[in-house]
Amino acid sequence: MKKTNVSIFIPHIGCPHLCSFCDQKSISGAVKAPSASEVRDVLNEQAEHLLKNNISAEIAFFGGSFTAIERGYMESLLDAAKSAVDKFPAYTGIRCSTRPDCISEEIIDILKRYGVTAVELGAQSMNDEVLKANERGHTADDVRNASNLIKSSGIELGLQMMTGLYRDTPENCLYTADEFIKLSPKTVRIYPTVILKNTKLGKLFESGEFKSFSFEETVELCAKLLRKFTEKGFRVIRLGLHASADVERDMLGGTYHPALREIVESRIFLEDLQMRLFDMEKGKYTVYTDPKNISKAVGQKKSNINALAELGYEIKFRPMTGEYILIV
């Protein structure tokens, strides 16, 4: 059975801070807070589609700081979601995203009462200087405390990080990943910074004071992050923002690409293959790999083939089920 999320976007309401990078309208595309009845209608409509196509889904409240919105409104949305989970077997749980400083024992009790199964924290960084520079309004210790509360309650923990923020460095990002690993989240999301119009970062970028990581620097860094998390057994469920016409229209800089994860995975494959070829004579080789790896083995616009050719290796890729890298 396939798995997915049915995402309900809650616009920027309730959040106590306007972070340096935030333009929630461009990110989520949402401009109006949905009512509980609208959420019920969406979930009822989607349930039929899910059941027909043998798909299971979690109901996901994204787009804002869910546990910071007005309490009565939050509970009305949770009640609508819980009713759908109780009614339709296609729905397997409820997840939400929120700020680390908007989690408390009281909030956890409410989430558990409505059957919330996962909470994702928008930590963004574990470096307090970076958090302060980007006006996050919370500290790294807030992330640690909230993570421990969530995990001790039995709710699944997810952590979200950003790369290339104002006053950030690749070393800071790798430190954030190491601190995430200590907290043992079930899932991780990695979002390279996209600099949008009408944000503090946008103004800093236009003034020349801020320049985020280049595309190449981001790919190299994200390859290290993805490798670090997966080697420790943590699932990276998102790398890069979802494809969005609004983001493409409003972005001034930073790193955005609709196929960013595939590009990063392709870089990892290239690095692994280069290590295998390191002690081999330059020349022509055939590399066998599982069919699911072929596109990332070749690379976008044959980037991996071309990179290896510059090193003196003429490579042809052929499919072999179950194989990662077999060089002949």
The predicted-structure confidence for 18-77, as pLDDT tens digits, reads as follows: 789 987 554 444 468 899 999 999 999 999 999 999 999 999 999 779 999 999 999 999
Q: How high is the pLDDT of residue 101?
A: 95
| Total tally of structural domains belonging to the chain | 2
Mean pLDDT of 294-313: 97
The closest of 277, 244, 276, 279 to 260, measured between CA atoms, is 244
257: Cβ contacts below 8 Å, ≥ 6 apart: 215, 240, 263
Please give the sequence-ordered ranges of beta strands (E in DSSP) within 29-185, or none if there are none.
Answer: 55-62, 91-98, 116-124, 156-163
235 is a domain residue: yes
Asked whether residue 16 falls in the same domain as residue 101, the answer is yes
Domain endpoint, select from 258, 293, 309: 258
Residue length, the chain?
328
Asked whether residue 226 falls in the same domain as residue 93, the answer is yes
Mean pLDDT of 162-187: 98
CB atoms within 10 A of CB 301: 8
The closest of 186, 106, 124 to 154, measured between CA atoms, is 186
Is the pLDDT assigned to residue 150 strictly greater than 80? yes
List the domain range (segments joined by +) for residue 296. 276-327
Mean pLDDT of 274-283: 95
Instruction: Give the chain's mean pLDDT.
Output: 94
Q: Range with the lowest mean pLDDT among 30-39, 62-71, 103-112, 140-149?
A: 30-39
Alpha carbon separation from 294 to 17, 18, 146, 269, 289 (Å, rounded) = 44, 43, 41, 10, 7
Q: What is this structure's pTM?
A: 0.93
> What is the residue whose two structure tokens read 């599982």?
290
pLDDT band of 128, cuts 50, 70, 90:
very high
Asked whether residue 284 falls in the same domain as residue 254, the answer is no
Asked whether residue 114 falls in the same domain as residue 203, the answer is yes
Q: How high is the pLDDT of residue 293?
A: 97
Q: What is the largest CA-CA distance in the chain?
A: 68
